[in-house]
Amino acid sequence: MTLKSDSIRSLSHIATMLELLGEDAFRVNANARAVRSLEAFPDELEPIADDQKQLTAIPGIGAKIAQKIIELHTSGRISEEDELARKVPQTLLEVLEVPGLGPKTVRLMWEQQQVESIDDLRRIIADGSILTLPRMGQKSVDKITAALAFMETSSERLPIGIAQPLAELLIEYLRQSPEIIKAEFAGSLRRGQETVGDIDILVATSNPAAVTKHFLAAPNLEEVLASGDTKSSARFAVPESAGGKRKTTARAIQIDLRIVEQDAWGAALLYFTGSKEHGVHLRTVARKQGFTLNEYGLFKDEPGEGPPQSRGIAPIAHATEAEIYAQLDQPAFPPEIREDMGEFDLTEAPRLIEVADIKAELHAHTRASDGRLSLHQLIEHAISRGFHTLAVTDHSRSSVQANGLSIERLQEQRQHIEDAREQFEGQITILHGCEVDILTDGSLDYDDETLHWLDLVVASPHVALTQDPKTATKRLLNAIEHPCVHILGHPTGRLINRREGLSPAINELVAAAVEHETALEINAHWQRLDLRDTHVRAAATGGARFAIDCDVHHAADFDNLRYGVATGRRGWLEPAQCVNALGHKDLHGWIKSKRV
């Protein structure tokens, strides 16, 4: 673990315990905001851990928070966290994780019913004493019971590569109903987050009852959690085949159906897409201009009790998100950057990378190493995607588990590629490259003569992925600075929900990548997404080049491109900084420039 990850964990722990103790909201929010800021901060904290001035230069980190980080660095503990932990039973935090239970309700259970664990919660449900709590009726108890059952079958957040296809399948099913006018997923999934806790589906209809009935008859629905005119919730099974060969341990996910009127579609989509922080900021902007903004629309403030729509006040903007943003003199922010992380400082919406911009795949494997496609099959799939260039990059010799190529096998492969170039001439440019291992000491898996002979080199770490940040940084810098390396592949080697990977100093990697014109990869596989969004933003701001690659092993891996693009968009990446989005002449000009 690193100081940053330890700080995030401790500050989050502190915020949660303060909330359970009913402490001042300012203290809770200060710690929670610091957590969000550190999650967005791309670099590690060790180099600045003793410098309060540099720590407080991080947005959202005040002097008191900085002191906590310094204390954690020097002593390995935060005294405030230890003090709070003596007051709050740590098993109570598990109760707070039950969907639908907030800090106020859990605090009441703790104070009035001596609930300190999940077992205690089950006890007060079984003996009925839970019903003595304020505002706790049988329907609420039934929801808690269902949530407890749901937790037993859902042990992790679902990766985007599993959640999005499930959402799309459900939307396709819902659209079979003639009563549905519009349907789209919202929430963190629409914002392109790498994992989601649940899925929000928004539909517009004039017949809510018919749509609700249709939703509750959907395939893979395991259990109905709630059903109403405007919202229904159900638990859906995650198919065993979801995600291809890489499995998730999650077996179910909650999907919420939210029904809105067509006229309010834009306001509802804006509201339910989030993030919470973006919505709060936007509503503050609205209030300062004399408006009220909610999921029904943007309304002119008028005196009176209750929400404006309940008083017959007509909205001045509600049909589209763009209309609402324009009325508030704000750019139409793309969903992926709605995190209240600087977007409100923009005067116009950025032109972010799109799937249609990608014209080349520069990291792909064949059966020669661990791919499942023949060389010709790989080429045909790339042509069908409309790509002008494909780089064949099978593994190098040290990747024994991936059937890595010896120099002799690499040379034999060149003849196959030459034959393919002749066969597919005029349809696509085929590069003979390699995904070359970055060894533990930072050296590369082939000698310089072999590396120079290759058309393109993707250098990637595959082993020793628990190295300390300083060693990892030096190791990756060696690859970036090597004159034969074009792309630093999946730089941290992480696997989402499975492996943390390396924690290098991103600012040092970015500076070196800019100096040496080396591209940093956003590996588009949904379980990698490496670089991650916060790293992308730091590198994009620093002027680095990127390669968004599918790391193709199977034909379906080409479809992962959208997840890599979403990660790039979350990092505010524009097309000009992505080498895969370059035209043929410019891309090959950059590739050849590394051989001069």
Band (pLDDT 50/70/90 cuts) for residue 139 is confident
Third-level CATH fold of 158-260: Beta Polymerase; domain 2 (3.30.460)
Distance of CA 145 to the CA centre of its chain: 30
Rg of the chain taking only CA atoms, in angstroms: 26
pLDDT at res. 314: 93
Q: What is the CATH number of domain 268-345?
A: 3.30.210.10
pLDDT digits (tens, 9 = 90+) for 67-102: 999 999 999 999 999 999 999 999 999 898 887 788
**% helix, strand, coil for the chain, step of 5:** 45, 15, 35
Q: Are 477 and 491 in contact (CB under 8 A)?
A: no
State the CATH architecture for 355-593. Alpha-Beta Barrel (3.20)
Q: Which strand (E) or helix (H) includes residue 222?
A: strand 221-226
% of the chain beyond a pLDDT of 90: 81
pLDDT digits (tens, 9 = 90+) for 242-259: 554 444 555 789 999 999
Class in CATH terms, 3-153: mainly alpha
Distance of CA 534 to the CA centre of its chain: 10
Q: Are 477 and 512 in contact (CB under 8 A)?
A: yes
Q: How far apart are CA 395 and CA 370, in angstroms?
A: 8
Average pLDDT taken over every residue of the chain = 93
Q: How far apart are CA 279 and CA 289, in angstroms?
A: 15
Tokens of 595: 């051989």
pLDDT digits (tens, 9 = 90+) for 439-498: 999 999 999 999 999 999 999 999 999 999 999 999 999 999 999 999 999 999 999 988
pLDDT at res. 100: 76
- Calculate mean pLDDT across residues 309-320: 92
Q: Hey, where are the domains in the chain?
A: 3-153, 158-260, 268-345, 355-593
- By the 10 Å C-beta count (0-12 exposed, 13-18 middle, 19+ buried), 11 is classed as buried
Pairing mode, strands 487-488 and 456-460: parallel
Q: The pTM is what? A: 0.84
In angstroms, the first-to-last Cα distance of the chain is: 41
pLDDT at res. 245: 46
- Calculate mean pLDDT across residues 572-589: 98
Handedness of CA 215, 216, 220, 221 (dihedral sign): positive
pLDDT digits (tens, 9 = 90+) for 151-173: 665 557 899 999 999 999 999 99
Q: Are 410 and 393 in contact (CB under 8 A)?
A: no
Question: What is the identity of the amino acid at 594?
Answer: K
